[in-house]
Amino acid sequence: MSKSYSISIINEYAYILFLSEKNDKLTVIETLEIELSELSAFVKNKKNLHISVENIFEFSQNIKVPATITNSKNIKNYILYKIKEINPDRDVLFNFKKLPKQNDEENIIYSVEAIDENSYIASLSFVTDFSKITSATTNKFALLSLSNRCIDEDNYICVHANATTVTVLAIEQKELIFSRATLIDSSDAQAIQINIAENITQTLSYISNQFRDIQFKTLALSGSIALDDVITQHILMLNNLNISILYPNSFVQNIDAEESQAHILSLGAYLVEKTNQFLPKKLLALRQFNFTSSIFLALSGALLFVMLYFVFDAYIKYTDLTTKNEVLKSRYLNLFSKTKMLPEKELKKYTNHISMVKKYLKNSPVDTALILKPLIELDKPTEFDYKDENGIVSFKLVFEKHFKELKNLYKFEKEFNSKFRNINTIIKIEKKTTIDYEKMIYKTNINTVDKSSIHVKKRKRRQ
């Protein structure tokens, strides 16, 4: 059973749900509403954070991409280029989706949603460790995710209201095709209901004129207007739509209807799809680093430390270069201080020792085995004798292989002879072969020509 904290930020408040999930069912363990100034202390030791923040800056537009551009990376670069044409001074994070209806053969139309990266990261500054963030999005896409889960229709309109903002979404085939967030003047308490109702009605009229070929039948209400009969009746009189209230009781347990409206966006933040998330490069780098780190946990301490350093260097691009330089300098000085400096006499002793080891290894049975490797790979020897008498190396091998088919014996004999000739150019050896074609047995003895001496030629390097 996984447990998570889902947080939506509205004005100066954070609406928090402590959730557990099992078998596609969500259970609300605890609900909280705290001031934004208290949020940093609250999440300090928490993990699995799902966050939805307000839309500080937003770029929402349909962009035509030439149909000849098919690679997803090239499509993304082209869209970024078009965004930069309109917003040259902004660093943006963006998502894009192919629109359901395409009437242009030369271009593909994508719905593009972008946000200001710097403002967005600033809105997440209450989280000191970005690796604790599981998902992050804006309130608009949190609302879209929850409404798609609750409304069993492809085309509909969704409206959410809080104390200051009314958000209206138009959805076609479960994809967002229009959105509008409007600030409401709440200074006049008596007129606020009329202002909200009129704003919604005007937006619905605009959607109806803008998307004449789409038939919207349902209007889903959530937030404060879901509990306001006056606004609901006003909308119902002026619009020919079926009114529905977003109430996720079919898959969310332990939360009542009224309480759920205050936490609609928190629930949506938990349900938001990856394609509707906005993940800062810093967060993506940390995820990649943490994923790579887990792979290397089985390695030894020294190797793990070295590998993690290079992985960290490769993926954490945001690390301050000056700080990194100081760290490397400190590590170098520490290593240099621990390096043992040997006197010349002792160093010569080690050099002589290494020379003796090389001389021994030169006449090692391993050398012989490596030279004969092509034959051994064909068939395992039935006998292998090796002698080293006063530095004089000699050996003898016996191969005996039985076959069921004569053609396989011929094939083996031909391949064996070919590899033997190649080896005989490196080390002087002789071969004595006996073949019984009736019993289909191939037997051969290989040994040094002169057991009193053996000369191994050096292999010529390939040019």
Q: Which residues contact 246 (CB under 8 A, 6 or more apart)?
A: 146, 147, 150, 151, 158, 220, 221, 222, 226, 261, 264
**Residue with more model confidence, 289 or 380:** 380
| Domain parsing of the chain, residue ranges | 61-119+136-276, 281-332, 363-448
pLDDT-based confidence at residue 9 (cuts at 50, 70, 90): very high
pTM over 0.75: no
**Residue with more model confidence, 449 or 301:** 449
Residue 24 has pLDDT above 50, yes or no: yes
At 287 the pLDDT is 43
DSSP category for residue 460: P
At 87 the pLDDT is 82
pLDDT tens digit sequence for 200-247: 999 999 999 999 989 999 999 999 888 888 888 888 887 888 999 998
pLDDT tens digit sequence for 387-440: 777 666 677 889 999 998 888 888 998 999 998 888 888 777 888 999 888 888
Alpha helices in 170-228 (DSSP H): 192-210
* Least confident span in 165-174, 232-241, 253-262: 232-241
Q: Which residues contact 368 (CB under 8 A, 6 or more apart)?
A: 386, 393, 395
Residue 368 has pLDDT above 80, yes or no: no
Annotation: CATH topology of 61-119+136-276: Nucleotidyltransferase; domain 5 (3.30.420)
For residues 232 and 418, give the distance between their C-alpha atoms in angstroms, rounded to a whole number: 92
Q: In CATH, which of 3.40.50.720, 3.40.640.10, 3.40.50.1950, 3.30.980.50 is domain 363-448?
A: 3.30.980.50
pLDDT tens digit sequence for 143-158: 999 999 999 999 999 9
At 296 the pLDDT is 47
At 426 the pLDDT is 77
Mean pLDDT estimate for the chain: 80
DSSP category for residue 65: E
Q: Which residues contact 53 (CB under 8 A, 6 or more apart)?
A: 8, 9, 120, 123, 124, 136, 137, 138, 139
